[in-house]
Each structure stands twice: as structure tokens, then as C-alpha cells.
Structure 1
Amino acid sequence: MTSRNWVRLFMSTLLVGGVTTAIVGFIIRWDEFQPYFIHFQIIDILSTLVWLIVMGFLFSVISQMGFFSYLTIHRFGLGIFKSVSLWNSVQVVLVVFGLFDLVYLRYENFAKPGDSVVPYFGPAFLLLAVSLVVAWYKVKQTNRGAFIPALFFMIVATLVEWVPVLRENEKNWFYLMMISLLACNAYQLIILHKLNAQSVQERQKRAEQTNSKAKNTSKNRKMTKKPSM
């Protein structure tokens, strides 16, 4: 990827994180922010909006760190296991363990005596459903081989990035960060192949321009060369 497209990816993902967090933040915490709108407290509304956008930028940076880390891990995995099918099998196993831990560890750490385990399946099913849709769309845009890596990234990478809030189990932050991370991760995953294709085209165009300039320079030198006699 060219530096220009990398900057474009970074800035656009920041925008996705900021906008998503601002919208979801107002929806999730509407009971808290509703008086601001009822009493037309513009300063409070704007300050809350700026605060949510900044938090969205932070979630976006975490998402991007996880994304580029996964790209590195993916290459290492292919190199270590020497087989795409074997590496995909390892990723599937890690996906299953990740979803299991999301349910089991949260239930063990935060459930009160007598609480049912059923509500703790909700976030896992939501994460799996969103990840399956994103992975399917990625396959539709690229090829079948992208399904497992996309599913792994959307589930396992999101869980790793989500850890600070998972430890606290505060409901509002729990879903706010989850949705923001999913939005940023999905966006990066879907846009990556398009930016890579643009980068290849830009490199080819630059190479053609360089070759053209070199030919013109050589031609000009021949035309201006003094005769030997």
C-alpha cells in the first residue's frame, strides 16, 4: 500500500470511529443526555458530542493497531504452518475458543448467584452474526479464501481490542466500544483490497511516467549530441 492510501485509510477509519461512537453514544445514553435537548443546552450537547467523537478516535486507533497486527500475524501464520488450510483450521479453533470465553469468563466473573447464563450469550451471538455478514461480504468482493481470515479478524481481534471494557463490564461502555470496534474493523477489512488495487495502479502509472521521462531524456540527448566531424 502506498503512503498516500495508508493515510487515507487512517483518516477515513478515524472518521468512521468518531461518527459511529457519537451516534451510538447518544442512543445508548439517551436517558442521560435527553435533558440537554429538552432544555436546549447547546454547550452541553456540543461538549458531549466532541467528547464522544474523541473517544471514537481512540477506539479507531485501537482498531487500526489490531488490524495491522493481524496482517503481520497472518503472514507469520502462513509461514509457520506452511499450509493455508492448516492455518485456517487454527484460526477456526481460536474463533470457537474466543466466543466460548466471551460467554464463560463473563458469566464466571460477573454473574450473581442464581443468574441465568442465557443473557451472556447475547453479545457472543451479536459478534458472530456481524462477523459472518462482514466475512460473507468480503468473500463476495474478493474470493472464497478470504472468509476464514475475515471471520477470525472480526471476532478474535475485536475481542482482544475489547478487553479493557470486558474487564469492567459496564453496560454502556460495553456496547459502545463493541459497536465502534466492529464498525472500524469491518470498514478496514472491506476497504483494504480496494486500496491495495489503487496502490498497484498508482505504482504502475508512476513506473510508466518514469520510463516515459527516461526515454524522452535519452531522445533529447541524442538530438543535441554534437557531430563527431
Structure 2
Amino acid sequence: MTSRNWVKLFMTTLLIGGITTAIFGFILRWNEFQPYFTEFKIIDILSAFIWLIGMGFLFSLVSQLGFFAYLTVHRFGLGIFKSVSLWNAVQIVFILFGFFDLIYLRYVNFAKQGESIIPYFGPALILLVAGLVVARIKMKQTNREAFIPALFVMTIVTLVEWVPALKVNDRSWLYLMMLALMACNAYQLLILHKLNAKSAQERQKRASQSNNHKPLSGNKKALTKKPSM
């Protein structure tokens, strides 16, 4: 990816994190912010909005760090296992363990005596449904092999990034951080291959111009190669 497209990815993901957090922040914490609106406290509304935007930027940075860390791990995984199907199978195992930890360990650590485990399936179900939807879209845009990696990012990578809110276990922050992370991770997943293709085209164009408009076979191959992510 060219530096120009990387900056574009960084800034747009940052913006998505900020806007998502601001919107859902007012919704999920309406009881706290409602007096600002009923009493027309414009300064307080703006202060809360800016604060939520700032938190969204922070969530976005966490998302981007996790996403690019996974891209590195993904390449290592493909190199170690020498097989896309085997590496995908390993990721499926991690996904299953991740959901077990999300449901059972949260129940063990935070459930009150006599409380049912059923409510602890809620966040896991949201994460799974969102992950399946985004992974299916990614698969249609690229190829079948991208489904499991995309699902892994939307579930396990999001889960790892989500740990600070999971430890606090405050309901509003729990869902607020989850929604912001999912929005950022989904955007990065669905735009990555497009930016990579655009970057390859830009490099080919510059190379052609510098070589009297002679196309380079290596760049042509990069354009036609199907992305794994």
C-alpha cells in the first residue's frame, strides 16, 4: 500500500471511530446526557460530543493497531502452515475458544449468585452475527479464502481489542467500545483490498511513466492476483 492510501485509511478509520462512538455514546448513555438536551445546555452538549469523539479516536487507534498486527500474524500463519485451509482451520479453533472465554469466563467473573448465563450470550451473539455478515461481504468482494480471516478479525481481533471494557464490565462502555471497534474493523476489512489494488495501479502508472510507458509484468501480476485479505 502506498503512503498516500495508508494515510487515507488511517484518517477515514479514525473518523469512523469518532462518529460511531459519538452517535452510540449519546444513545447508550442517554440517561446521563438527557438533562443537557432538556435544559438546552449547548456548552455541555458540545463538551460531551467532543469527549465522545476523542474516545472514538482512541478506540479507532486500538482497532488499527490490532488490525495491522493481525495482517502480520496472518502472513506468518500462511508461511508456517503452508496451506490456506490448514491456517483457516487453526483460526476456527481460536474463534471457538474466544467465544467460550467471552461467555463462560465473563459469567464466572461477573455473574451474581443465582444469575443466569443467558444474558452473557448477548454480546457474543452480536459479535458473531456482525462477523458473519462482514465476512460474507468480504468473501463476495474477494474470494472464498477470505471468509475465515475476515471472521477472525471481526470476532477474535475485536475481542482482544475489547479487553479493557470487558475487564471493567460497565454495560454502556462494554457496548460502546464493541460497536466502535466493530465499525472500524469492518471498514478496514472491506476497504483493504480496494486500497491495495489502487496502490498497485498507482505504482504501475509511475513505473510506466518512468520507463517510457512500458508496462511491467510484475505489476500486472500484482493487479490480477486475488487478495487473501
What's the TM-score once normalised by structure 1's chain length? Answer: 0.92
Q: 1:65-80, aligned counterparts within 5 Å? A: 65-80=65-80
What is aligned with 1:226? Answer: none
Offset of residue 73 of structure 1: 0.1
CA change 1:89–1:213 in 2 (3 A) is closer
SS at match of 2:77: helix
SS at match of 2:211: helix
SS at match of 2:162: helix
Offset of residue 10 of structure 1: 0.2
Q: Does 1:174 align with 2:174?
A: yes
Moved over 2 A (4+): none
Equivalents in 1 of 2:179, 2:213: separation in Å?
Answer: 50
Equivalents in 2 of 1:186, 1:125: separation in Å?
Answer: 16
Query: For residue 195 of structure 2, what is the amino acid of its counterpart?
Result: L
Calculate percent identity across the aligned residue pairs: 71
What is aligned with 1:206? Answer: 206
CA change 1:83–1:49 in 2 (3 A) is same
Query: For residue 192 of structure 1, what is the amino acid of its counterpart?
Result: L
1:77-121 deviation digits (Å, cap 9, x = unpaired): 111111111110000000000011100010000001100000001
RMSD: 1.0
What is aligned with 1:82? Answer: 82
What is aligned with 2:13? Answer: 13
Query: For residue 22 of structure 1, what is the amino acid of its counterpart?
Result: A
What is aligned with 2:104? Answer: 104
Q: Does 1:143 align with 2:143?
A: yes
What is aligned with 2:26? Answer: 26
Equivalents in 1 of 2:212, 2:47: separation in Å?
Answer: 54
1:115-160 deviation digits (Å, cap 9, x = unpaired): 0000001111110000000000001111111000000111000000
SS at match of 2:212: helix
Equivalents in 2 of 1:67, 1:102: separation in Å?
Answer: 20
Equivalents in 2 of 1:72, 1:113: separation in Å?
Answer: 42
Query: For residue 123 of structure 2, what is the amino acid of its counterpart?
Result: P
CA change 1:40–1:81 in 2 (3 A) is same
Equivalents in 1 of 2:182, 2:136: separation in Å?
Answer: 15
What is aligned with 1:132? Answer: 132
Q: Which consecutive residues of structure 2, in runs of 5 or more, have no partner in the other structure?
A: 215-229
For the pair shown, which has the larger CA radius of gyration, 1 or 2? Answer: 1
Equivalents in 2 of 1:213, 1:203: separation in Å?
Answer: 12
Count of matched residue pairs: 214
Q: Which consecutive residues of structure 1, in runs of 5 or more, have no partner in the other structure?
A: 215-229
Equivalents in 1 of 2:137, 2:186: separation in Å?
Answer: 10
Offset of residue 213 of structure 1: 8.4
What is aligned with 2:221? Answer: none
What is aligned with 2:58? Answer: 58
Offset of residue 212 of structure 1: 2.5
Offset of residue 42 of structure 1: 0.5
Query: For residue 178 of structure 1, what is the amino acid of its counterpart?
Result: M
SS at match of 1:6: helix
